[in-house]
Chain A
Amino acid sequence: MLDNLTQRLGRVVKNLRGQARLTDDNISDMLREVRMALLEADVALPVVKDFIARVKEKALGQEVIGSLTPGQALVGVVHRELTELMGGASVGLNLATQPPAVILMSGLQGAGKTTTTAKLGKWLKERQKKKVLTVSVDVYRPAAIEQLKAVSAQAGIDFFPSSAGQKPSDIAAAALDHAKRHYYDVIFVDTAGRLAIDEAMMAEIKDLHALLKPIETLFVVDAMLGQDAVNTAKAFNEALPLTGVILTKLDGDSRGGAALSVRHVTGKPIKFAGVGEKLTGLEEFHPERMASRILGMGDILGLVEDAQRGVDQDKAQEFVKKMKSGKGFDLNDFKDQIGQMKKMGGMAAMLDKLPAQFSAMAQKAGGGMEDKTVRRLEGIINSMTPGERSKPEIIKANRKRRIATGAGVSVQEVNRLLNQFEQTQKMMKQFSKGGMQKMMRGMKGMLPGMR
């Protein structure tokens, strides 16, 4: 749904671009769109209202400087406000206490507390070389304790056994004692999921908090949460002195709303973001990136990181060498490139991170480059002989027919692939001759929206 927001704002800004200056009228148009988009992205209404008021105030007093268009100036304000609302710079965990540092995990059912506990434990163990113990006081849900045991083992951290027959406070006290005597640096206490309106359960976690005196009390919240995020966060914040928020399931397609709402209501920093079910799926939360993303400036930084993770460095260097020499870019390289793209999460994931204008354009222009098409391209190349791959110019009608049959496509598609390849080759040549700048200039010509 964040994409919606991105596209929406993209459209409004486009409308604004044609205007000579900002009037009360066109600013309110834009703000209405922002409001609707934020609501659709599940930002809670009170938060939206506050936000819009803030933006309006700032924007009206804002001078349009230099080369900026009024629209850009307004987007700048919205961006700054979004970043600020989501918490400025990112903050890590505070462990500055006499060990063991107790970290209490709280949240609704199914928010992802147990998985996050293991992720954080692994993170602390690997990045900060801490000795970590986990303990579950979830005596309610069947197999909750086994789940923590299993994920702790996967994360390579120690687990303090407990059983469903015990009282949560007894378990916690025993675990704390164990941690002290065995010189653990950090102990995670994973609690049962509870609704904020369940008074008995809220009293239980309050008691746990009083007993453990945790240095960090983390509120784990599902990024998909709707309007109720505000109420839940408020209730938890009132019952417990929270020190931070962890946003989970950020890899889903509904990443905006809850982050804004929870942050706004609790005033507590969002410390981490959970992405994916694997235990490595934990990122520090970057408010600026999130704001950029929402505004359609694209998560370029994230794209760069993805690229670094997905791309084989050696291969990439070889490729650069080849490109610099200006020749020898053949179908093998073309296929490698396609493969690398796939590793980075496929075309769809990449487009997702591009600024809204670009992704819309890329979809229109490149359109055919969907993941399915990419697979087909690979199939066609796989049907070629090594000779054909390194010397595509030898592919004539007869070979084309054979390749098409082999890949199960029509000859036209083979032709299309060869055309595409030729274009890429041309671009590579240009690159080697004129360098990056010339290529960028060439691209500017191709992409009309870019200035």
Chain B
Amino acid sequence: MFGFLKTKDDPAAPATTSPATPAPRASWGERLKAGLSRTRATLNTPLTELFSRAKIDDELLEDLETTLLMADCGVEATHWLLDELKATVKKDKLETPAQLRSALAKGLQTLLAPLEQPLDASGHQPFVIMIAGVNGAGKTTSIGKLAKHFQSQGKSVLLAAGDTFRAAAREQLTAWGERNGVTVIAQESGDPAAVVFDAINAARARNIDVVLADTAGRLPTQLHLMEEIAKIRRVIQKAHDTGPHEVLLVLDANIGQNAVQQVKAFDKAIGVTGLVITKLDGTAKGGVLAAIARQCPKPVRFIGVGEGIDDLQTFRADEFVEALLGPSW
């Protein structure tokens, strides 16, 4: 895999620290491709057809607009991409649709490249990561996967069951913890901020490297819950001077343009430092990343491409675009 070779000499990329993982790494590229196959099916089939046309004309551009909109890129990002594309066509005197394809790939990459910033969970101990998101985005599942990810890097992990609201959320996290052999700090109901505070102190006492703090899902319109999560962040600061070291917002890739709204709202409340995109398998999407890149860029730390515990991967713009547009000819 091209990605494997590239990331290996990049010490900042956490996913590939273990040299014994070429096989899963290769399969991840495949998995991502398989996962994004639906995106490709919607994007690519028409795209292949589009780019095999004889010439670049208005009709082609309009169909391209349609296709991008269908992939959830959003009106704003789509228009931006098309404007860029038109400018390139004029400037470089592109003639064949095949050239247009590479121009589009380039445009998408320019757009998404700034989002490609893997998470470096060293430099602080414990490294406190706070997880937030709307209901059903996949926060707790992602935490399980993240725990596994950090463990594979040889780091010790502790989970804080900060979702004290939803029924059985604590049990769900405990179950994940058992599967990973990870301690879970939980309390009978109570204040989520208190659970997280406890967890950070416990982590310090036990010399743990990474603390993953779960929070209850909330919609940005529930103002009191947004205040509650802001409080959790303040309490983390109290428990750890430099924390939280990472505030991850978990986004469901199936969500449409509201994703942008969510990023903005959570950023306002808790200062989001990174995104986790879940459920990228079996969705026609991923396009919403373009909208996010345009309107409120945040680094995409991980993407979830399956239900397995290993199906959480670092985001790479070039692979993503490649998977989205299909191979170049």
Contact = CB atoms under 8 A, between A and B. Distances in A.
* Tier of interface size on chain B: 35 or more
A346 B223 contact: yes
Contacts of B254: 108, 222, 225-226, 228, 232
Nearest to A112: B136
B256 A254 contact: yes
Contact of A277 (B166, B179, B252): B166
Interface in B70-98: 70-72, 74-75
Interface string B246-280: 00000010111111010000000000000000010
A228 B258 CA distance: 13
A198 B282 contact: yes
A253 B261 contact: yes
A1 B256 CA distance: 10
A195 B171 CA distance: 24
Contact of B168 (A140, A147, A232, A257): A147
A129 interface: no
A44 B69 CA distance: 9
Contacts, number: 144
A227 B261 contact: no
Interface string B8-46: 000000000000000000000000000000100010000
A369 interface: no
Contact of B134 (A39, A45, A141, A224): A224
A249 B169 CA distance: 18
A228 B220 contact: no
Given A36-B75, A45-B69, A225 B168 contact: no
A31 interface: no
Contact of A228 (B174, B257, B283): B283
Given A146-B167, A147-B167, A197-B38, A227 B71 contact: yes
Nearest to B283: A228
Interface in B198-252: 219-223, 252
A257 to B, nearest CB: 6
Contacts of B223: 346, 348, 371
Contact of A39 (B75, B135, B168, B261): B75
Given A42-B257, A143-B171, A147-B172, A227 B135 contact: no
A196 B283 CA distance: 9
B282 A143 contact: no
B261 A277 contact: no
Nearest to B71: A227
Contacts of A228: 72, 254, 283-285
A408 interface: no
A249 B219 contact: yes
Interface string A368-411: 00010000000000000000000000000000000000000000
Nearest to B66: A45
B117 to A, nearest CB: 24
Given A224-B255, A224-B256, A249 B171 contact: no
A280 interface: no
A149 interface: yes
Given A108-B254, A150-B167, A226 B72 contact: yes
Contacts of B74: 40
B176 interface: yes
Contacts of B284: 227-228, 231
A228 B252 CA distance: 12
B172 A254 contact: no
Contact of A251 (B176, B222, B257, B283): B222
A165 B299 CA distance: 40
A112 B254 CA distance: 14
A143 B172 contact: yes
Nearest to A111: B136
A227 B256 contact: yes
A154 interface: yes
B292 to A, nearest CB: 12
A247 to B, nearest CB: 13
B69 A1 contact: no
B138 interface: yes
A142 interface: yes
B281 interface: yes
Interface string A185-203: 0000000000111100000
A316 to B, nearest CB: 25
Output the residue of A144, A231, A252, A253 with the most chain B CB within 10 A: A252
A152 to B, nearest CB: 9
B279 to A, nearest CB: 7
A109 interface: yes
Contact of B256 (A112, A141, A225, A346): A225
Contacts of A36: 75
A179 B320 CA distance: 49
Interface in A203-228: 222, 224-228
B172 A110 contact: no
Given A42-B256, A142-B175, A110 B137 contact: yes
B220 A227 contact: no
A346 B223 CA distance: 10
Contacts of B159: none
Nearest to A279: B167
Contacts of A86: none
A222 B72 contact: no
Given A36-B75, A109-B279, A254 B168 contact: no
Contact of A1 (B38, B42, B165, B261): B261
A149 B219 CA distance: 24
A143 B175 contact: yes
Contacts of A114: 167
Contacts of B279: 108-110, 195
Interface string B133-154: 0111110010000000000000
A224 B136 CA distance: 11
Contacts of A41: 257
A44 B254 CA distance: 12
B81 to A, nearest CB: 15
10 contacts: A143-B171, A146-B172, A150-B167, A150-B168, A196-B282, A222-B252, A222-B255, A226-B72, A227-B287, A228-B285
Which 9 A-B pairs rank lowest in CB-CB distance, beginning with the nearest?
A226-B256, A110-B136, A42-B256, A254-B258, A142-B175, A150-B167, A147-B168, A143-B171, A143-B172
Interface of A: 1, 36, 39-42, 44-45, 108-112, 114, 140-144, 146-151, 154, 195-198, 222, 224-229, 231-232, 249, 251-254, 257-258, 276-277, 346, 348, 371
